[in-house]
């Protein structure tokens, strides 16, 4: 993502000062791991900048429409993002607290020329709200592992064939031929034998 530089000025000069900041970016794409997403309508943001004393707090919302690729069938998959932006830009690097967790501290700094770059905060909001699994539709049937047919569009018949063979090959296939009702009957017979009303119980065949 291109830098999104905002120059701080007198409106945020004192602790407690706030400044709303709305804008649009013609950003056209982003990548997440090996996945590529396009942003046909760019990115909109609606932020509030606050001078919080030791730095500038940036909070607000990022909205955009994303087009990616379905993880199951490789067709285009679209979704809307409405992500929370939350970033703190320190005026000066915070002093070492002596805490062992310092390496994990995540913060941004106000640049020496008194500007902040909002791109990192916007990108992390976008990434946070990108689904881990992207689907063209919630019940996407995916591609046939045998012939590659898009199972949302056609039934090539392979799935039924595979399922049939799987059932035949299963060690539990024999269970299908068991007379489970008979087994239930046996139990009834046993408990019946312990009581007096044995005649009232149906006998297993």
Considering only 69-77, 160-168, 182-190, 192-200, which stretch makes contact with Zn ion by CB under 5 A? 69-77
Is residue 134 at the binding interface for Zn ion, with CB under 5 A as the rule? no
Candidate residues 67, 149, 192, 201; the one interacting with Zn ion per rule CB under 5 A = 149
* 143 interacts with Zn ion by CB under 5 A: no
The answer to whether the beta carbons of residues 40 and 67 sit under 8 Å apart is yes
- Dihedral (C-alpha) 148, 152, 156, 162: value to the nearest 10 degrees? 80
DSSP 56-125: EEEEEEEEEEEEEE-TTT-SEEEEEEEEEEEEEEESSPPPP---GGGGG---EE--TTSEEE-HHHHHHH
* Residue 144 found at the interface with Zn ion (CB under 5 A): yes
Question: Considering only CA atoms, which of 32, 94, 109, 42 is closest in space to residue 69?
Answer: 32
Min dist. Cβ of residue 78 to Zn ion (A): 11
Whichever of 158 and 189 has its CB closer to Zn ion, that residue is 158
φ, ψ dihedrals at 47, nearest 5°: -115, 165
Answer yes or no whether residue 146 interacts with Zn ion by CB under 5 A: yes
Burial of 118 (0-12, 13-18, 19+ CB in 10 A): buried
Contact code string over 158-177 relative to Zn ion, x by CB under 5 A: x-------------------
Planar angle of CA 152, 156, 158, nearest 5 degrees: 110
Closest separation in Å from C-beta 118 to Zn ion: 34
Residue 67 engages Zn ion in binding (rule: CB under 5 A): no
Q: Which is nearer to Zn ion, 42 or 148 (CB)?
A: 148
Q: Does 151 bind Zn ion (CB under 5 A)?
A: no
Residue of 12, 134, 140, 143 that binds Zn ion (CB under 5 A): 140
Question: Site residues (CB under 5 A) for Zn ion?
Answer: 70, 72-73, 136, 140, 144, 146-147, 149, 156, 158
């Amino acid at each position: 993502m291109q830098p999104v530089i905002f120059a701080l000025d007198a409106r945020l000069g004192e602790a407690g000062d706030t400044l709303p900041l709305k804008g649009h970016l013609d950003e056209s794409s982003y990548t997440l791991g090996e996945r590529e997403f396009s942003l046909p309508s760019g990115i909109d943001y609606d932020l509030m900048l606050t001078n919080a004393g030791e730095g500038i707090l940036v909070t607000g919302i990022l909205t955009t429409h994303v087009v990616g690729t379905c993880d199951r069938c490789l067709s285009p998959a679209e979704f809307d993002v409405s992500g929370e932006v939350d970033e703190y830009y320190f005026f000066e690097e915070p002093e070492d607290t002596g805490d062992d967790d310092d390496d994990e501290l995540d913060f941004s700094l106000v640049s020496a020329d008194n500007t902040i770059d909002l791109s990192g905060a916007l990108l992390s909001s976008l990434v946070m709200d990108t689904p881990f699994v992207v689907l063209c539709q919630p019940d996407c049937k995916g591609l046939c592992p045998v012939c590659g047919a898009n199972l949302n569009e056609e039934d090539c018949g392979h799935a039924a064939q595979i399922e049939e063979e799987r059932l035949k090959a299963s060690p539990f296939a024999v269970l299908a031929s068991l007379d489970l009702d008979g087994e239930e009957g046996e139990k009834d017979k046993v408990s019946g034998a312990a009581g007096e009303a044995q005649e009232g119980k149906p006998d297993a065949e």
